[in-house]
Chains A and B, each alone.
Chain A
């Protein structure tokens, strides 16, 4: 963390332009500018927290883990959606850094956006493994299963399971910008993640996004894949889903073999 009293020769200053808006109080949006000291390892989140601690405590930001795991601190930094905790000031190579809220999401205050719509799209694709036993058998809650998957089967969906739901891909998507009913790259990539998983037995999972505002509205701009901080390629997931829906690829998924595990409760 930066110490305001620290007198270090390596310390430089950066101009931080922060978008300000309070929708509750209906204030006009504007930018506030701050001169913030930084070192070569200082992240944009560190700089924002410095502003909050020493210059203007009213700046609203959302953050948690500071290590690109929680996906809370997504914002538009110098015009590109990024995680503030994962973006070093020195790597931006500019004298001014402009921080704005994520596009395609309603602003709550300053850099904090409302993720309700984003999470609703995520929820709509049923982002969980569904087993026949889970639906039909009333005693399923008492049963625990282990599944056998080969490394190749895991490889098919593994990269998509790294998604941290930070919303950067959603905010970078030009289709979401024009059609709010479009599920967005995150939800579609997650749909592929569960569709490709051999543990999932859901039938007609693809039908969820096979509507007029669904997967077919993707223009394949590829900006979702460019901004993902976890190296997920949602555009690839979308194209793979489309190839299944067009019948170019056949889903020859063989369901994972499962064995019931005796829980401690049952063994007693």
Chain B
């Protein structure tokens, strides 16, 4: 029943799972809101996109989405495959 020699306890993994899930919802919501406040035509302009990628906050949000969803998603797949 009890598993030893594991890096993380299941409760620690699940804590990370829940935190990444909730944080992912938050950053995705921010990302969508940032898209919505700019008209679609101007959002595709070269200068606008370059300025976005020079904005450290915007880059941080995008990278956060990637990292959080990866951790949450891969752990979700692990749970599904456990059975």
Contact B2 A211, beta carbon cutoff 8 Å = yes
Contact B2 A207, beta carbon cutoff 8 Å = yes
Q: Quote the shortest CB–CB distance from B76 to chain A (angstroms).
A: 12
Contact A178 B3, beta carbon cutoff 8 Å = no
Q: Is B14 interfacial (CB-CB < 8 Å)?
A: yes
Q: Is B77 interfacial (CB-CB < 8 Å)?
A: no
Q: Quote the shortest CB–CB distance from B72 to chain A (angstroms).
A: 14
Q: Is B83 interfacial (CB-CB < 8 Å)?
A: yes
Instruction: Find chain B residues with CB under 8 A from A164 CB.
Output: none
Contact B11 A246, beta carbon cutoff 8 Å = yes
Count of chain B residues with a beta carbon within 8 Å of a chain A beta carbon: 12
Instruction: Find chain A residues with CB under 8 A from B14 CB.
Output: 216, 246
> Closest B-chain residue to A123, C-beta based?
B1
Contact B15 A178, beta carbon cutoff 8 Å = no
Q: Is A222 interfacial (CB-CB < 8 Å)?
A: no
Q: Is B82 interfacial (CB-CB < 8 Å)?
A: yes
Give the complex CA separation of A217 and B83 in angstroms. Answer: 10
Q: Is A108 interfacial (CB-CB < 8 Å)?
A: no
> Which listed residue (A179, A210, A217, A247) contacts B9, Cβ 8 A?
A210
Contact A179 B82, beta carbon cutoff 8 Å = yes
Q: Is B45 interfacial (CB-CB < 8 Å)?
A: no
Contact B11 A210, beta carbon cutoff 8 Å = yes
Q: Quote the shortest CB–CB distance from A11 to chain B (angstroms).
A: 49
Q: Quote the shortest CB–CB distance from A69 to chain B (angstroms).
A: 29
Q: Is B47 interfacial (CB-CB < 8 Å)?
A: no
**Interface residues as binary, A7-19 with B (CB distance below 8 Å gives 1, 0 otherwise):** 0000000000000
Instruction: Find chain B residues with CB under 8 A from A210 CB.
Output: 2, 9-11
> Which residues of B in the span 1-43 have a Cβ within 8 Å of any Cβ on A?
1-3, 9-11, 14-15, 18
Give the complex CA separation of A59 and B46 in angstroms. Answer: 79
> Which listed residue (A124, A178, A208, A216) contacts B11, Cβ 8 A?
A216
Instruction: Find chain A residues with CB under 8 A from B9 CB.
Output: 207, 210
Contact A211 B10, beta carbon cutoff 8 Å = yes
- With contacts A207-B2, A211-B2, A246-B15 taken as known, whether A178 is within 8 angstroms of B10 at the C-beta atoms is no
Give the complex CA separation of A12 and B83 in angstroms. Answer: 47
Greatest chain A CB density within 10 A among B2, B15, B18 is at B2
Greatest chain A CB density within 10 A among B1, B3, B15, B83 is at B1
Which residues on B are within 8 Å of A, measured CB to CB? Answer: 1-3, 9-11, 14-15, 18, 79, 82-83
A/B interface sample: 14 pairs, CB < 8 A: A178-B83, A206-B11, A207-B2, A209-B1, A211-B1, A211-B2, A211-B3, A214-B1, A214-B10, A216-B11, A216-B14, A245-B11, A246-B11, A246-B15
